[in-house]
Amino acid sequence: MALKRLVVDVHTHLYLPRYASLLRSRTTLPKIISREDGERLVILKDEPSGGRPIGPVYTERNEKLEFMKKHDIDISIVSTANPWLDFLSAKEAHSMALELNDDLEEYCSTGPALTGTSMRQLYGFGLLPLVPEITTESLLEAVKQIAASAHLKGLIMGTLGVGKGLDDEALDPVWDAIEAAGLVVFIHPHHSIVNSETWGPKQNGHVLPLALGFPFETTVAATRIILSGVFDRFPSLRLLLAHSGGALPQLSSRLASCIDHDPVVASRLKHDARFYLGKLYLDAVSYGPEELGFVGDVLGRSNRFEAGSSSTASGDRVAGSKRMLFGTDHPFFPPLSSSEKWKSVVENLDAIENVKGWTEDDKDGVRGGNAISLFNL
Ligand code: URA
Ligand code: ZN
C-alpha cells in the first residue's frame, strides 16, 4: 500500500476564546457585536452590512478538526486571525501576547496527535506584541516564549511593525532573535493600503479590500523588507507571505528595474531584487493553476540574479514550487450554501493538481512535504 502523503494547511486561522472575549467587550473596531440573528465580526473599516456572521467555527477546536477531517487535512498550523493585537496599548499587547501564546500552545498540545489511531495534528503560529511604544525586551520575551513552546513553529505578524512598518530598524533585534531561534514568520495583511474612497461604490461589498487591498498590502510590506536590506543582514530569516505574495511575483522585474535606475537604493542592496524573491516562502492560496505555475517560475529563477552569477538558464518552475505551501484561509470564505466541501479549499487543491509542469512529487511537496521540511514537523 502506498504511504499516504500528508496534507498540511499553513494558512488557517482562529480567534482563541480569550481573544473573542476581548472583541466582545469592545464598542469600537475591532469588535464582535451581538444581534438577534447571531454574533457579527466587525474588523475592517467600512464593513458592509454590519460585519460578517461569526460562530463556533472561528473559535472552537472541534470545528477546526471537523473541517480538517472533511478536507483530508492532516496537519494545520493555526494562527490568530487579523487584526491580532494591533489595537491594544503596549501594556495590554504585552500581556495578551503572552497569554494567547500559552493558550495556543495548549490548544495544540492537548489536541489529537498524528499517530496510528488519530490522523490530525495541530501546530501554531504565536504572536508578538507588535504595537507602538512596546519595548524591544517585551518583543524578545515573546520570541523566547514561542521558541520554547513545542507546538508553536513560528509567529504571525501584520504589516505595521511597531508603527513604522516592517522595514523599521528598530525591528533588527527581533529579526535577529527570530532567525537565531529558527522560527518562521507568517506575514499577513489586514489594513489594506488604500482608503475606502478608492474602492468606489459600496455595492462591491468586501470584494475589493479582500481581493486587492489585502494582497497589495503584503506586496508593499515585503518589498519594503527587501529594500531595507533585511535579507542582507539576516540571510537565514524565513518569511512566509500570505496569498502567494500578492502582486510581488508579477511586479518583481519592474521592481528590479526601478532599483537599477535609482543609484541610492541600488548601492544599498547586495543583490538584484529578484534574488530576494527566491528567499521567500509563499502560500499557495491563489485559487488558480496558472497563477501557481507563474509564481513557481518567478521563485525558481532567483539564482540567476544572485550577485556574481553568470547563469542565464530560464526559470525553474519545479525549484520554485519547493517554496510554496498549501493553505485554506479557514474559517474565512465559508460556503454560501451548505455543501459537503468548502469551495475555497477545493479550488486551492485543484489549482495545485492542475499546474502544468509539476510532477506528482512537486504537487505533494506543495500540499504538505514542503511544510514538513520548512517547519521541521
Ligand atoms: N478576511 C479576513 O479578514 N482575514 C483573512 O485572513 C481572510 C479574509
Ligand atoms: Zn488569512
Q: Is the CB of 80 under 6 A from ligand 1?
A: no
Q: Per-residue pLDDT tens for 79-130?
A: 999 999 999 999 999 999 999 999 999 999 998 777 666 679 999 999 999 9
Work out the pLDDT band at 55, boundaries 50, 70, 90: very high
- For residue 294, what are the domain limits? 8-374
In a domain, 201, yes or no: yes
Q: Is residue 307 part of a domain?
A: yes
Hey, is 328 helix, strand or coil? coil
- Number of Cβ within 10 Å of residue 354's Cβ equals 14
pLDDT of residue 157: 98
C-alpha cell at 16: 482563541
Give every CB contact of residue 141 below 8 A, 6+ residues apart in sequence: 94, 98
Specify the pLDDT at position 1: 46
Distance 14 CA to ligand 1 centre (A): 11
Amino acid at 100: L
In a domain, 244, yes or no: yes
3 domain-assigned: no
Ligand 1 nearest atom to the CA of residue 242, by list position: 6
Cα 46 to ligand 2 centroid, rounded to whole Å = 19
In a domain, 1, yes or no: no
Q: Which of 328, 352, 324 is nearest to 342 (CA)?
A: 328
Eight-class DSSP state of 217: H
How far apart (Å, rounded) are the C-alpha atoms in residues 204 and 375?
A: 38
Domain total in the chain = 1
Q: What does the CA dihedral 191, 207, 80, 123 come to, rounded to 10 degrees?
A: -130
Q: How confident is the model at residue 270 (pLDDT cuts 50, 70, 90)?
A: very high
> Which backbone phi and psi does 23 adopt, to 5 degrees?
-65, -35
As given in the structure block, the three cell numbers for residue 360 are: 506528482
Q: Tell me, yes or no, whether 69 lies in a domain.
A: yes
Give domain status of residue 122, yes or no.
yes
> Can you read off the three cell numbers belonging to residue 358?
509539476
Alpha carbon nearest to ligand 1 atom 1, residue: 332
8 A C-beta contact, residue 165 and residue 199? no
What CATH number corresponds to the domain at position 319? 3.20.20.140
Ligand nearest to the CA of 54: 1
87, part of any domain: yes
Closest-lying ligand 1 atom to the alpha carbon of residue 43 = 3
Contact 32, 24 (CB under 8 A): yes
Triad 318, 326, 111: Cα angle to 5°? 140
- Do the interacting molecules here have an ipTM over 0.90? yes
User: Which residue from 124, 61, 3, 70 is spatially nearest to 369, judged by alpha carbons?
Assistant: 3
Q: How far, in whole angstroms, is CA 353 from its chain's centroid?
A: 22
332 C-beta closer than 6 A to ligand 1? yes
Answer yes or no: is pLDDT of 2 > 60: no
pLDDT tens for residues 215-227? 999 999 999 999 9
Ranking 193-197, 208-212, 235-239 by mean pLDDT, the lowest is 193-197
Three-class DSSP category at 44: coil
Q: Is the CB of 329 under 6 A from ligand 1?
A: yes
